[in-house]
Amino acid sequence: MKLTKLSSQAEVVAALNTIRVADEVKGRLLLKSQYVNLYIEGITAAAAIVLKQIALSEGADVAIPMNVIEGCKGEVTVLLMANWREIERMLPRMREQPFKSLHRLADELEAELTRLRAG
């Protein structure tokens, strides 16, 4: 047995081709392989808590400031840690929420997903 760490997206694509993965699933697998850490500024504390709950339900996570847990009001900065497939699954649930900041964030994330798929 040999274990090799793949460091680039090109290496992941080459590995999927070598393994002969079905073309129909390559896109999803590529989204799962692209782990991202997104620093998000200007989200309300309440929306940050909801975002964390949504992220956890999809296998991702959100680092939120301690003062949010302690009842902070106003805007905060958070760190979303996820792969693009997890983010893709989060989008509909983000749009169901009553927070406009989550709607705007979902739009930005979806635009980035569209760019990734195109290129």
Predicted pLDDT at 69: 84
Compute the distance between CA of residue 25 and CA of residue 62 in angstroms, rounded to an integer: 27
What digits encode the pLDDT tens for the residues 48-86?
999 999 999 999 999 999 999 888 889 999 999 999 999
Torsion of Cα atoms, 39 then 105 then 110 then 65, to 10°: 30
Q: Which domains does the chain have, with CATH numbers?
A: 1-33 (no CATH), 36-118 (3.30.1370)
Give yes or no for residue 14 having a pLDDT over 70: yes
Provide the whole-model pTM: 0.83
Predicted pLDDT at 79: 96
Looking only at the bridges linking them, the beta strands covering 61-63 and 75-83 are: antiparallel
